[in-house]
Structure 1
Amino acid sequence: MKTRRAFIQKALLSASAATILGSSVALAHPRRRGRGKQSQDKFELGVAGYSFVHFSLDESLAMMKRLNVHYLCIKDFHLPFKSSDSEIRAFHEKLAQSGVTGYAVGPIYMTKSKTEIDNAFEYAKRVGVKLIVGIPNKEDLPYISDKTAEYDIRYAIHNHGPEDKLYPNATSVFDLVKDLDHRVGLCFDMGHNMRDGHDPIRDLARYHKRIFDIHLKNVTAVAKEGTTCELGRGVIDIPNFVNALRKIGYDGKCSLEFEKDMKDPLPGLAESVGYFKGVLDASV
Protein backbone atom coordinates (compact mmCIF):
# COMPACT_ATOMS: atom_id res chain seq x y z
CA MET A 1 0.00 0.00 0.00
CA LYS A 2 1.33 3.42 -0.88
CA THR A 3 2.45 5.61 2.00
CA ARG A 4 1.53 9.25 2.47
CA ARG A 5 5.16 10.13 1.73
CA ALA A 6 4.92 8.32 -1.58
CA PHE A 7 1.76 10.25 -2.43
CA ILE A 8 3.47 13.55 -1.69
CA GLN A 9 6.60 12.66 -3.66
CA LYS A 10 4.52 11.68 -6.68
CA ALA A 11 2.41 14.82 -6.30
CA LEU A 12 5.42 17.10 -6.27
CA LEU A 13 6.83 15.44 -9.39
CA SER A 14 3.47 15.82 -11.13
CA ALA A 15 3.20 19.42 -9.97
CA SER A 16 6.60 20.26 -11.43
CA ALA A 17 5.62 18.68 -14.73
CA ALA A 18 2.33 20.54 -14.75
CA THR A 19 4.07 23.86 -14.14
CA ILE A 20 6.87 23.36 -16.66
CA LEU A 21 5.02 21.52 -19.42
CA GLY A 22 1.39 22.37 -18.75
CA SER A 23 0.91 24.82 -21.58
CA SER A 24 2.06 22.50 -24.35
CA VAL A 25 0.31 19.45 -22.87
CA ALA A 26 -2.98 21.29 -22.57
CA LEU A 27 -2.87 22.43 -26.17
CA ALA A 28 -1.90 19.02 -27.49
CA HIS A 29 -4.45 17.07 -25.43
CA PRO A 30 -7.18 19.47 -24.27
CA ARG A 31 -9.62 16.71 -23.27
CA ARG A 32 -7.35 13.77 -22.55
CA ARG A 33 -8.32 11.78 -19.47
CA GLY A 34 -5.83 10.25 -17.05
CA ARG A 35 -4.51 6.76 -17.48
CA GLY A 36 -5.39 3.72 -15.40
CA LYS A 37 -7.90 4.30 -12.65
CA GLN A 38 -8.43 7.94 -13.63
CA SER A 39 -9.94 6.86 -16.97
CA GLN A 40 -12.78 5.17 -15.06
CA ASP A 41 -13.63 8.16 -12.85
CA LYS A 42 -16.91 9.96 -13.48
CA PHE A 43 -15.79 13.20 -11.84
CA GLU A 44 -13.58 15.92 -13.34
CA LEU A 45 -11.05 18.29 -11.81
CA GLY A 46 -11.80 22.00 -12.12
CA VAL A 47 -10.98 25.36 -10.59
CA ALA A 48 -13.38 27.58 -8.66
CA GLY A 49 -13.20 31.04 -10.18
CA TYR A 50 -12.71 32.70 -6.79
CA SER A 51 -9.17 31.30 -6.79
CA PHE A 52 -8.42 33.95 -9.46
CA VAL A 53 -10.06 36.94 -7.78
CA HIS A 54 -6.93 39.07 -8.27
CA PHE A 55 -6.41 38.12 -11.92
CA SER A 56 -7.93 38.96 -15.28
CA LEU A 57 -9.61 36.27 -17.35
CA ASP A 58 -6.58 36.07 -19.66
CA GLU A 59 -4.22 35.62 -16.72
CA SER A 60 -6.52 33.02 -15.16
CA LEU A 61 -6.75 30.99 -18.36
CA ALA A 62 -2.99 31.12 -18.76
CA MET A 63 -2.67 29.54 -15.32
CA MET A 64 -5.26 26.90 -16.14
CA LYS A 65 -3.28 25.99 -19.27
CA ARG A 66 -0.17 25.46 -17.18
CA LEU A 67 -2.16 23.36 -14.72
CA ASN A 68 -3.73 21.30 -17.52
CA VAL A 69 -7.18 21.74 -15.90
CA HIS A 70 -10.17 22.28 -18.17
CA TYR A 71 -13.24 23.22 -16.10
CA LEU A 72 -14.02 26.59 -14.52
CA CYS A 73 -16.79 27.72 -12.19
CA ILE A 74 -17.43 31.23 -13.51
CA LYS A 75 -17.32 34.26 -11.23
CA ASP A 76 -18.96 37.54 -12.14
CA PHE A 77 -15.67 39.47 -11.95
CA HIS A 78 -14.74 37.56 -15.13
CA LEU A 79 -18.22 37.63 -16.69
CA PRO A 80 -20.39 40.42 -15.23
CA PHE A 81 -24.08 39.79 -14.62
CA LYS A 82 -25.06 42.44 -17.15
CA SER A 83 -22.92 41.03 -19.96
CA SER A 84 -24.53 41.21 -23.39
CA ASP A 85 -25.15 38.09 -25.47
CA SER A 86 -22.22 39.00 -27.70
CA GLU A 87 -19.96 39.43 -24.66
CA ILE A 88 -21.06 36.02 -23.36
CA ARG A 89 -20.28 34.44 -26.73
CA ALA A 90 -16.84 36.07 -26.78
CA PHE A 91 -16.23 34.84 -23.23
CA HIS A 92 -16.98 31.23 -24.18
CA GLU A 93 -14.87 31.51 -27.32
CA LYS A 94 -11.93 32.70 -25.23
CA LEU A 95 -12.36 29.79 -22.83
CA ALA A 96 -12.55 27.34 -25.71
CA GLN A 97 -9.29 28.66 -27.18
CA SER A 98 -7.64 27.61 -23.91
CA GLY A 99 -9.40 24.25 -23.78
CA VAL A 100 -11.57 25.37 -20.85
CA THR A 101 -15.31 24.89 -20.30
CA GLY A 102 -17.33 27.05 -17.92
CA TYR A 103 -19.59 24.55 -16.17
CA ALA A 104 -21.33 26.69 -13.50
CA VAL A 105 -21.69 30.23 -12.16
CA GLY A 106 -21.06 31.43 -8.64
CA PRO A 107 -20.94 31.55 -5.77
CA ILE A 108 -23.57 34.27 -5.98
CA TYR A 109 -24.99 35.90 -2.85
CA MET A 110 -28.78 36.41 -2.98
CA THR A 111 -29.75 37.65 0.46
CA LYS A 112 -31.24 41.07 -0.32
CA SER A 113 -34.33 40.29 -2.38
CA LYS A 114 -35.99 37.75 -4.65
CA THR A 115 -34.93 39.94 -7.56
CA GLU A 116 -31.37 38.74 -7.01
CA ILE A 117 -32.62 35.17 -7.34
CA ASP A 118 -34.50 35.99 -10.53
CA ASN A 119 -31.45 37.71 -11.97
CA ALA A 120 -29.19 34.77 -11.09
CA PHE A 121 -31.37 32.26 -12.92
CA GLU A 122 -31.61 34.53 -15.96
CA TYR A 123 -27.84 35.00 -15.88
CA ALA A 124 -27.21 31.24 -15.74
CA LYS A 125 -29.66 30.68 -18.60
CA ARG A 126 -27.95 33.30 -20.77
CA VAL A 127 -24.49 31.99 -19.91
CA GLY A 128 -25.67 28.51 -20.86
CA VAL A 129 -24.82 26.58 -17.70
CA LYS A 130 -27.03 24.17 -15.77
CA LEU A 131 -25.69 24.88 -12.28
CA ILE A 132 -25.77 27.89 -9.97
CA VAL A 133 -23.68 27.98 -6.79
CA GLY A 134 -25.47 30.31 -4.43
CA ILE A 135 -25.97 31.64 -0.94
CA PRO A 136 -29.67 32.49 -0.36
CA ASN A 137 -31.79 33.29 2.67
CA LYS A 138 -33.37 30.24 4.24
CA GLU A 139 -36.86 31.66 3.83
CA ASP A 140 -36.32 31.94 0.07
CA LEU A 141 -35.58 28.24 -0.44
CA PRO A 142 -39.14 27.32 -1.53
CA TYR A 143 -38.96 30.12 -4.11
CA ILE A 144 -35.60 28.81 -5.35
CA SER A 145 -37.07 25.32 -5.53
CA ASP A 146 -39.76 26.62 -7.87
CA LYS A 147 -37.12 28.37 -9.97
CA THR A 148 -35.04 25.21 -10.39
CA ALA A 149 -38.11 23.45 -11.76
CA GLU A 150 -39.03 26.37 -14.02
CA TYR A 151 -35.53 26.73 -15.53
CA ASP A 152 -34.33 23.14 -15.15
CA ILE A 153 -31.17 24.53 -13.59
CA ARG A 154 -29.68 23.01 -10.47
CA TYR A 155 -28.94 25.22 -7.45
CA ALA A 156 -26.09 24.29 -5.10
CA ILE A 157 -25.89 26.03 -1.73
CA HIS A 158 -22.34 26.73 -0.56
CA ASN A 159 -21.42 26.04 3.08
CA HIS A 160 -18.92 28.50 4.51
CA GLY A 161 -17.78 27.10 7.86
CA PRO A 162 -18.17 28.25 11.48
CA GLU A 163 -18.34 31.95 10.57
CA ASP A 164 -21.43 31.31 8.41
CA LYS A 165 -24.64 31.79 10.40
CA LEU A 166 -26.76 30.40 7.55
CA TYR A 167 -24.92 27.35 6.22
CA PRO A 168 -21.83 26.40 8.24
CA ASN A 169 -21.67 22.75 7.14
CA ALA A 170 -23.22 20.18 4.80
CA THR A 171 -25.76 18.97 7.37
CA SER A 172 -27.16 22.47 7.80
CA VAL A 173 -27.82 22.62 4.06
CA PHE A 174 -29.11 19.09 3.56
CA ASP A 175 -31.66 19.38 6.37
CA LEU A 176 -33.18 22.38 4.59
CA VAL A 177 -33.20 21.05 1.01
CA LYS A 178 -33.94 17.33 1.40
CA ASP A 179 -37.68 17.81 0.80
CA LEU A 180 -37.37 20.44 -1.94
CA ASP A 181 -37.11 19.94 -5.70
CA HIS A 182 -34.38 17.43 -6.53
CA ARG A 183 -32.44 20.18 -8.32
CA VAL A 184 -31.74 22.00 -5.03
CA GLY A 185 -28.64 20.72 -3.28
CA LEU A 186 -25.11 21.48 -2.12
CA CYS A 187 -21.84 22.90 -3.31
CA PHE A 188 -19.88 20.92 -0.76
CA ASP A 189 -16.97 22.93 0.57
CA MET A 190 -15.12 20.08 2.24
CA GLY A 191 -12.56 22.37 3.91
CA HIS A 192 -15.10 24.64 5.59
CA ASN A 193 -17.05 21.53 6.59
CA MET A 194 -13.96 20.22 8.38
CA ARG A 195 -13.29 23.60 10.01
CA ASP A 196 -16.78 23.36 11.49
CA GLY A 197 -15.93 20.01 13.04
CA HIS A 198 -17.74 17.81 10.49
CA ASP A 199 -16.07 14.89 8.73
CA PRO A 200 -16.10 15.56 4.95
CA ILE A 201 -15.71 11.87 4.05
CA ARG A 202 -18.66 10.82 6.19
CA ASP A 203 -20.79 13.72 4.95
CA LEU A 204 -19.95 13.01 1.32
CA ALA A 205 -21.37 9.52 1.80
CA ARG A 206 -24.41 10.78 3.72
CA TYR A 207 -25.48 13.55 1.37
CA HIS A 208 -24.06 12.56 -2.01
CA LYS A 209 -27.45 12.48 -3.73
CA ARG A 210 -27.72 16.24 -3.15
CA ILE A 211 -24.08 17.16 -3.75
CA PHE A 212 -23.83 18.79 -7.19
CA ASP A 213 -20.42 20.46 -6.89
CA ILE A 214 -17.38 20.16 -4.63
CA HIS A 215 -14.93 22.84 -3.63
CA LEU A 216 -11.82 20.73 -3.33
CA LYS A 217 -9.43 21.92 -0.65
CA ASN A 218 -7.56 20.97 2.48
CA VAL A 219 -7.25 22.92 5.72
CA THR A 220 -4.65 23.22 8.45
CA ALA A 221 -6.86 22.37 11.44
CA VAL A 222 -10.24 21.01 12.54
CA ALA A 223 -11.08 24.41 13.98
CA LYS A 224 -12.37 27.83 13.08
CA GLU A 225 -8.76 28.98 12.92
CA GLY A 226 -7.94 26.42 10.22
CA THR A 227 -6.95 27.90 6.87
CA THR A 228 -6.76 26.62 3.30
CA CYS A 229 -3.53 24.89 2.38
CA GLU A 230 -2.11 22.78 -0.43
CA LEU A 231 -4.16 19.65 -0.95
CA GLY A 232 -1.59 17.20 0.39
CA ARG A 233 -0.59 19.20 3.47
CA GLY A 234 -3.74 19.42 5.58
CA VAL A 235 -5.83 17.38 8.01
CA ILE A 236 -8.29 15.90 5.49
CA ASP A 237 -7.37 12.41 4.28
CA ILE A 238 -7.49 13.05 0.52
CA PRO A 239 -6.83 9.44 -0.57
CA ASN A 240 -9.82 8.27 1.47
CA PHE A 241 -11.89 11.16 0.13
CA VAL A 242 -11.06 10.03 -3.42
CA ASN A 243 -12.05 6.47 -2.54
CA ALA A 244 -15.35 7.83 -1.22
CA LEU A 245 -15.94 9.75 -4.46
CA ARG A 246 -15.49 6.54 -6.40
CA LYS A 247 -17.66 4.53 -4.05
CA ILE A 248 -20.66 6.85 -4.47
CA GLY A 249 -20.08 7.27 -8.21
CA TYR A 250 -19.79 11.06 -7.97
CA ASP A 251 -20.09 12.53 -11.47
CA GLY A 252 -19.75 16.27 -10.82
CA LYS A 253 -16.75 18.56 -10.67
CA CYS A 254 -14.11 18.73 -7.96
CA SER A 255 -13.00 22.34 -8.26
CA LEU A 256 -9.93 23.56 -6.43
CA GLU A 257 -10.69 26.68 -4.42
CA PHE A 258 -7.27 27.83 -3.30
CA GLU A 259 -7.49 30.68 -0.78
CA LYS A 260 -3.86 30.64 0.36
CA ASP A 261 -1.46 33.06 -1.35
CA MET A 262 -4.31 34.41 -3.46
CA LYS A 263 -2.05 36.97 -5.15
CA ASP A 264 0.26 34.14 -6.23
CA PRO A 265 -1.92 31.01 -6.39
CA LEU A 266 -0.18 29.11 -9.21
CA PRO A 267 2.48 27.26 -7.14
CA GLY A 268 -0.09 26.04 -4.61
CA LEU A 269 -2.60 25.13 -7.29
CA ALA A 270 0.07 23.25 -9.26
CA GLU A 271 1.11 21.30 -6.19
CA SER A 272 -2.53 20.49 -5.42
CA VAL A 273 -3.26 19.37 -8.99
CA GLY A 274 -0.19 17.15 -9.00
CA TYR A 275 -1.04 15.66 -5.62
CA PHE A 276 -4.65 14.98 -6.61
CA LYS A 277 -3.66 13.28 -9.85
CA GLY A 278 -1.08 11.22 -7.99
CA VAL A 279 -3.71 10.10 -5.52
CA LEU A 280 -6.08 9.20 -8.36
CA ASP A 281 -3.46 6.91 -9.83
CA ALA A 282 -2.41 5.38 -6.51
CA SER A 283 -5.73 4.99 -4.65
CA VAL A 284 -7.44 1.63 -4.50
Structure 2
Amino acid sequence: MNNRRDFVKKGIAGVFAGSMFSLSENSEAKTLKEKKEDTFKLGIAGYSFLHFKLDEALAMMKKLNVQYLCIKDFHLPYKSTAEEIATFHEKLKQANVTGYAVGPIYVKTTQEIDNAFDYAKRVGVKLIIGIPNHEDLPYLEKKVKEHDIRFAIHNHGPEDKLYPNAASIYNLIKDLDPRVGICFDMGHDTRDGRDAAADLGKYHKRIFDMHLKNVTAAKKEGSTCELGRGIIDIPAYVKMLRKVKYSGSCSLEYEKDMKDPLAGIAESVGYFRGVCSVV
Protein backbone atom coordinates (compact mmCIF):
# COMPACT_ATOMS: atom_id res chain seq x y z
CA MET A 1 0.00 0.00 0.00
CA ASN A 2 2.74 2.41 0.96
CA ASN A 3 4.55 1.51 -2.26
CA ARG A 4 1.41 2.35 -4.25
CA ARG A 5 1.03 5.72 -2.47
CA ASP A 6 4.67 6.51 -3.13
CA PHE A 7 4.20 5.59 -6.78
CA VAL A 8 1.16 7.88 -7.13
CA LYS A 9 2.95 10.74 -5.33
CA LYS A 10 5.95 10.38 -7.58
CA GLY A 11 3.69 10.24 -10.61
CA ILE A 12 1.88 13.46 -9.63
CA ALA A 13 5.20 15.12 -8.82
CA GLY A 14 6.53 14.03 -12.20
CA VAL A 15 3.53 15.45 -14.05
CA PHE A 16 3.79 18.70 -12.09
CA ALA A 17 7.51 18.98 -12.79
CA GLY A 18 6.93 18.20 -16.44
CA SER A 19 4.23 20.87 -16.64
CA MET A 20 6.52 23.41 -14.98
CA PHE A 21 9.32 22.49 -17.39
CA SER A 22 6.97 22.84 -20.34
CA LEU A 23 5.71 26.16 -18.97
CA SER A 24 9.28 27.36 -18.51
CA GLU A 25 10.16 26.25 -22.03
CA ASN A 26 7.13 27.98 -23.52
CA SER A 27 7.83 31.13 -21.52
CA GLU A 28 11.43 31.19 -22.69
CA ALA A 29 10.40 30.54 -26.27
CA LYS A 30 7.85 33.34 -26.05
CA THR A 31 10.48 35.71 -24.65
CA LEU A 32 12.91 34.82 -27.42
CA LYS A 33 10.17 35.22 -30.02
CA GLU A 34 9.20 38.64 -28.70
CA LYS A 35 12.80 39.86 -28.53
CA LYS A 36 13.52 42.33 -31.31
CA GLU A 37 16.34 41.72 -33.73
CA ASP A 38 19.37 43.91 -33.01
CA THR A 39 20.05 46.83 -35.34
CA PHE A 40 23.82 46.17 -35.27
CA LYS A 41 25.55 43.28 -37.01
CA LEU A 42 28.57 41.17 -36.14
CA GLY A 43 31.53 41.32 -38.51
CA ILE A 44 35.27 40.76 -38.53
CA ALA A 45 37.99 43.33 -39.13
CA GLY A 46 40.23 42.04 -41.90
CA TYR A 47 43.35 42.76 -39.84
CA SER A 48 42.44 39.73 -37.70
CA PHE A 49 43.52 37.59 -40.68
CA LEU A 50 46.88 39.30 -41.25
CA HIS A 51 48.75 36.02 -41.71
CA PHE A 52 46.16 34.28 -43.87
CA LYS A 53 45.23 34.32 -47.52
CA LEU A 54 41.70 35.34 -48.47
CA ASP A 55 40.49 31.77 -49.02
CA GLU A 56 41.74 30.75 -45.57
CA ALA A 57 40.11 33.79 -43.94
CA LEU A 58 36.79 33.10 -45.63
CA ALA A 59 36.93 29.44 -44.58
CA MET A 60 37.28 30.59 -40.95
CA MET A 61 34.41 33.04 -41.33
CA LYS A 62 32.23 30.26 -42.73
CA LYS A 63 32.97 28.10 -39.67
CA LEU A 64 32.03 31.04 -37.46
CA ASN A 65 28.92 31.91 -39.49
CA VAL A 66 29.97 35.58 -39.67
CA GLN A 67 28.94 37.36 -42.87
CA TYR A 68 30.54 40.83 -42.77
CA LEU A 69 34.17 41.70 -43.45
CA CYS A 70 36.08 44.98 -43.36
CA ILE A 71 38.48 44.59 -46.28
CA LYS A 72 42.23 45.00 -45.80
CA ASP A 73 44.65 45.69 -48.63
CA PHE A 74 46.63 42.48 -48.07
CA HIS A 75 43.53 40.64 -49.31
CA LEU A 76 42.65 43.18 -52.02
CA PRO A 77 45.61 45.42 -52.96
CA TYR A 78 45.01 49.11 -53.65
CA LYS A 79 46.07 48.75 -57.27
CA SER A 80 43.76 45.82 -58.01
CA THR A 81 42.25 45.76 -61.49
CA ALA A 82 38.50 45.67 -62.14
CA GLU A 83 38.83 41.97 -62.95
CA GLU A 84 40.69 41.25 -59.70
CA ILE A 85 38.06 43.15 -57.71
CA ALA A 86 35.28 41.19 -59.43
CA THR A 87 37.03 37.91 -58.61
CA PHE A 88 37.45 39.03 -55.00
CA HIS A 89 33.73 39.81 -54.63
CA GLU A 90 32.80 36.50 -56.24
CA LYS A 91 34.87 34.66 -53.63
CA LEU A 92 33.09 36.59 -50.88
CA LYS A 93 29.71 35.81 -52.43
CA GLN A 94 30.49 32.08 -52.57
CA ALA A 95 31.33 32.24 -48.84
CA ASN A 96 28.16 34.24 -48.08
CA VAL A 97 30.30 37.19 -46.93
CA THR A 98 29.80 40.89 -47.68
CA GLY A 99 32.73 43.30 -47.77
CA TYR A 100 31.15 46.39 -46.21
CA ALA A 101 34.15 48.76 -45.88
CA VAL A 102 37.87 49.14 -46.59
CA GLY A 103 40.67 49.89 -44.14
CA PRO A 104 42.11 50.99 -41.88
CA ILE A 105 44.17 53.03 -44.34
CA TYR A 106 46.82 55.52 -43.25
CA VAL A 107 46.40 58.61 -45.42
CA LYS A 108 49.30 60.97 -44.70
CA THR A 109 48.87 63.28 -47.70
CA THR A 110 46.02 64.66 -49.78
CA GLN A 111 47.15 62.39 -52.62
CA GLU A 112 46.75 59.35 -50.37
CA ILE A 113 43.27 60.59 -49.43
CA ASP A 114 42.47 60.74 -53.17
CA ASN A 115 43.81 57.21 -53.59
CA ALA A 116 41.70 55.91 -50.70
CA PHE A 117 38.48 57.31 -52.16
CA ASP A 118 39.37 55.98 -55.61
CA TYR A 119 40.01 52.55 -54.07
CA ALA A 120 36.70 52.53 -52.16
CA LYS A 121 34.81 53.61 -55.28
CA ARG A 122 36.36 50.84 -57.39
CA VAL A 123 35.78 48.23 -54.67
CA GLY A 124 32.15 49.37 -54.42
CA VAL A 125 31.89 50.23 -50.71
CA LYS A 126 30.49 53.36 -49.08
CA LEU A 127 32.73 53.43 -46.01
CA ILE A 128 36.46 54.00 -45.54
CA ILE A 129 38.24 53.39 -42.23
CA GLY A 130 41.32 55.56 -42.04
CA ILE A 131 43.80 57.75 -40.21
CA PRO A 132 44.32 61.22 -41.75
CA ASN A 133 46.51 64.04 -40.48
CA HIS A 134 44.72 66.83 -38.61
CA GLU A 135 45.66 69.45 -41.19
CA ASP A 136 44.07 67.40 -43.97
CA LEU A 137 40.62 67.16 -42.37
CA PRO A 138 39.17 70.05 -44.44
CA TYR A 139 40.36 68.28 -47.61
CA LEU A 140 38.91 64.99 -46.33
CA GLU A 141 35.56 66.70 -45.81
CA LYS A 142 35.68 67.95 -49.40
CA LYS A 143 36.24 64.40 -50.71
CA VAL A 144 33.43 63.00 -48.56
CA LYS A 145 31.04 65.50 -50.12
CA GLU A 146 32.37 64.86 -53.62
CA HIS A 147 32.04 61.06 -53.50
CA ASP A 148 29.26 60.60 -50.91
CA ILE A 149 31.43 57.99 -49.23
CA ARG A 150 31.66 58.08 -45.44
CA PHE A 151 35.05 58.21 -43.74
CA ALA A 152 35.48 56.83 -40.20
CA ILE A 153 38.62 57.87 -38.31
CA HIS A 154 40.17 55.13 -36.19
CA ASN A 155 41.51 55.71 -32.66
CA HIS A 156 44.63 53.79 -31.64
CA GLY A 157 45.13 54.34 -27.90
CA PRO A 158 47.76 56.15 -25.83
CA GLU A 159 50.57 55.58 -28.37
CA ASP A 160 48.58 57.46 -31.02
CA LYS A 161 49.45 61.16 -30.92
CA LEU A 162 46.71 61.97 -33.48
CA TYR A 163 43.66 60.06 -32.25
CA PRO A 164 44.13 58.22 -28.93
CA ASN A 165 40.40 57.95 -28.12
CA ALA A 166 36.92 58.70 -29.42
CA ALA A 167 36.77 62.14 -27.79
CA SER A 168 39.93 63.26 -29.59
CA ILE A 169 38.30 62.43 -32.92
CA TYR A 170 34.90 63.90 -32.11
CA ASN A 171 36.34 67.23 -31.00
CA LEU A 172 38.02 67.61 -34.39
CA ILE A 173 35.13 66.49 -36.61
CA LYS A 174 32.01 67.67 -34.78
CA ASP A 175 31.62 70.69 -37.09
CA LEU A 176 32.54 68.83 -40.28
CA ASP A 177 30.16 67.14 -42.71
CA PRO A 178 28.23 64.39 -40.85
CA ARG A 179 29.70 61.81 -43.22
CA VAL A 180 33.04 62.24 -41.44
CA GLY A 181 32.88 60.04 -38.35
CA ILE A 182 34.56 57.54 -36.07
CA CYS A 183 35.66 53.92 -36.27
CA PHE A 184 35.43 53.30 -32.54
CA ASP A 185 38.10 50.93 -31.26
CA MET A 186 36.67 50.19 -27.83
CA GLY A 187 39.84 48.38 -26.70
CA HIS A 188 42.23 51.20 -27.53
CA ASP A 189 39.76 53.69 -26.05
CA THR A 190 39.87 51.72 -22.80
CA ARG A 191 43.68 51.52 -22.89
CA ASP A 192 43.67 55.31 -22.95
CA GLY A 193 41.82 55.33 -19.62
CA ARG A 194 38.34 55.88 -21.02
CA ASP A 195 35.02 54.15 -20.34
CA ALA A 196 34.17 52.48 -23.66
CA ALA A 197 30.43 52.13 -22.99
CA ALA A 198 30.18 55.75 -21.86
CA ASP A 199 32.06 56.98 -24.94
CA LEU A 200 29.80 54.92 -27.17
CA GLY A 201 26.85 56.67 -25.54
CA LYS A 202 28.39 60.14 -25.97
CA TYR A 203 29.58 59.87 -29.56
CA HIS A 204 27.28 57.25 -31.10
CA LYS A 205 25.81 59.64 -33.68
CA ARG A 206 29.22 59.90 -35.34
CA ILE A 207 30.29 56.26 -34.88
CA PHE A 208 29.99 54.49 -38.24
CA ASP A 209 32.00 51.37 -37.46
CA MET A 210 33.59 49.74 -34.44
CA HIS A 211 36.37 47.34 -33.62
CA LEU A 212 34.98 44.92 -31.08
CA LYS A 213 37.62 43.73 -28.63
CA ASN A 214 38.56 43.40 -25.00
CA VAL A 215 41.83 44.24 -23.28
CA THR A 216 43.73 43.04 -20.23
CA ALA A 217 44.24 46.46 -18.61
CA ALA A 218 43.06 50.07 -18.85
CA LYS A 219 46.55 51.35 -19.56
CA LYS A 220 49.12 51.49 -22.33
CA GLU A 221 50.41 48.00 -21.49
CA GLY A 222 46.96 46.43 -21.88
CA SER A 223 46.77 43.89 -24.68
CA THR A 224 43.95 42.37 -26.71
CA CYS A 225 42.41 39.20 -25.32
CA GLU A 226 39.37 36.99 -25.86
CA LEU A 227 36.19 39.06 -25.63
CA GLY A 228 34.96 37.51 -22.39
CA ARG A 229 38.29 37.59 -20.55
CA GLY A 230 39.17 41.29 -20.37
CA ILE A 231 38.25 44.24 -18.19
CA ILE A 232 35.56 45.76 -20.42
CA ASP A 233 32.04 44.92 -19.25
CA ILE A 234 30.67 43.45 -22.49
CA PRO A 235 27.06 43.00 -21.24
CA ALA A 236 26.99 46.70 -20.27
CA TYR A 237 28.45 47.56 -23.67
CA VAL A 238 25.77 45.55 -25.50
CA LYS A 239 23.10 47.33 -23.47
CA MET A 240 24.54 50.65 -24.63
CA LEU A 241 24.58 49.47 -28.25
CA ARG A 242 20.86 48.86 -27.92
CA LYS A 243 20.16 52.04 -26.00
CA VAL A 244 21.69 54.22 -28.73
CA LYS A 245 20.28 52.00 -31.50
CA TYR A 246 23.68 51.54 -33.11
CA SER A 247 23.14 50.24 -36.64
CA GLY A 248 26.68 49.70 -37.93
CA SER A 249 28.98 46.71 -37.74
CA CYS A 250 30.59 45.42 -34.56
CA SER A 251 33.67 43.97 -36.21
CA LEU A 252 35.78 41.74 -34.02
CA GLU A 253 39.44 42.68 -34.29
CA TYR A 254 41.40 39.85 -32.72
CA GLU A 255 45.10 40.62 -32.26
CA LYS A 256 46.13 37.78 -29.97
CA ASP A 257 47.67 34.56 -31.35
CA MET A 258 47.48 36.10 -34.82
CA LYS A 259 49.19 33.14 -36.50
CA ASP A 260 46.68 30.74 -34.95
CA PRO A 261 43.60 32.86 -34.12
CA LEU A 262 40.62 30.62 -34.87
CA ALA A 263 40.05 29.32 -31.33
CA GLY A 264 40.20 32.82 -29.82
CA ILE A 265 38.02 34.32 -32.53
CA ALA A 266 35.48 31.51 -32.14
CA GLU A 267 35.41 31.96 -28.36
CA SER A 268 34.91 35.71 -28.77
CA VAL A 269 32.18 35.36 -31.39
CA GLY A 270 30.37 32.78 -29.25
CA TYR A 271 30.66 34.96 -26.17
CA PHE A 272 29.31 38.03 -27.96
CA ARG A 273 26.36 36.11 -29.36
CA GLY A 274 25.71 34.59 -25.94
CA VAL A 275 25.70 37.99 -24.29
CA CYS A 276 23.36 39.38 -26.97
CA SER A 277 20.93 36.53 -26.38
CA VAL A 278 20.58 37.06 -22.63
CA VAL A 279 20.98 40.77 -21.79
Question: 181, 184, 189: which is aligned to 2:180?
Answer: 184
Matched-pair contact (CA < 8 Å) for 1:36–1:281: no
The superposition leaves residues 165-216 of structure 1 with CA deviations (integer Å, 9 ceiling, x where unpaired) of: 1000000000000000000010000000000001011000000000000100
Match of 2:224 in 1: 228
Higher relative contact order (CA 8 A, sep 6+): 1
In structure 2, C-alpha distance between the alignment counterparts of 1:220 and 1:256, rounded to whole Å: 16
In structure 2, C-alpha distance between the alignment counterparts of 1:167 and 1:55, rounded to whole Å: 28
In structure 2, C-alpha distance between the alignment counterparts of 1:156 and 1:188, rounded to whole Å: 8
Match of 2:121 in 1: 125
Q: Which amino acid aligns with 1:184?
A: V
The structural deviation recorded for 1:120 is 0.3
2:149 maps to 1:153: yes
Aligned-residue sequence identity (percent) comes to: 70
Q: Secondary structure at the match of 1:197?
A: coil
**Matching of residues 40-189 of structure 1 within 5 Å:** 40-111=37-108, 113-189=109-185
In structure 1, C-alpha distance between the alignment counterparts of 2:174 and 2:205, rounded to whole Å: 10
Q: Which amino acid aligns with 2:206?
A: R
Q: Secondary structure at the match of 1:157?
A: strand
Runs of 4+ in 1 over 6 A off after TM superposition: none
In structure 2, C-alpha distance between the alignment counterparts of 1:246 and 1:278, rounded to whole Å: 15
Cα distance change on mapping 1:37 and 1:266 into 2, 3 Å: farther
Q: Secondary structure at the match of 1:80?
A: coil
The structural deviation recorded for 1:278 is 0.3
Question: 221, 237, 254: which is aligned to 1:241?
Answer: 237
In structure 1, C-alpha distance between the alignment counterparts of 2:33 and 2:272, rounded to whole Å: 14
Q: Taking structure 1 as the reference length, what is the TM-score of the superposition?
A: 0.86
Q: Secondary structure at the match of 1:78?
A: coil
The structural deviation recorded for 1:40 is 1.6
- Point out where structure 2 has 5 or more consecutive residues left out of the alignment: 1-31
Q: Secondary structure at the match of 2:184?
A: strand
Q: Secondary structure at the match of 1:40?
A: coil
Q: Which amino acid aligns with 1:153?
A: I
Q: Which amino acid aligns with 2:44?
A: V
Match of 1:195 in 2: 191
Cα distance change on mapping 1:145 and 1:38 into 2, 3 Å: farther
Larger radius of gyration: 2
Match of 1:264 in 2: 260
Q: CA RMSD in A?
A: 1.0
Q: Which amino acid aligns with 2:161?
A: K
In structure 1, C-alpha distance between the alignment counterparts of 2:94 and 2:218, rounded to whole Å: 40
Match of 1:17 in 2: none
Q: Secondary structure at the match of 1:45?
A: strand
Q: Which amino acid aligns with 2:104?
A: P
Q: Which amino acid aligns with 1:167?
A: Y
2:203 maps to 1:207: yes
The superposition leaves residues 264-284 of structure 1 with CA deviations (integer Å, 9 ceiling, x where unpaired) of: 11000000000000000000x
- Point out where structure 1 has 5 or more consecutive residues left out of the alignment: 1-34
The structural deviation recorded for 1:156 is 0.3
Cα distance change on mapping 1:198 and 1:141 into 2, 3 Å: same
Cα distance change on mapping 1:84 and 1:104 into 2, 3 Å: same
Match of 1:25 in 2: none
The structural deviation recorded for 1:37 is 7.3
Q: Which amino acid aligns with 2:259?
A: K
Alignment: residue pair count:
248
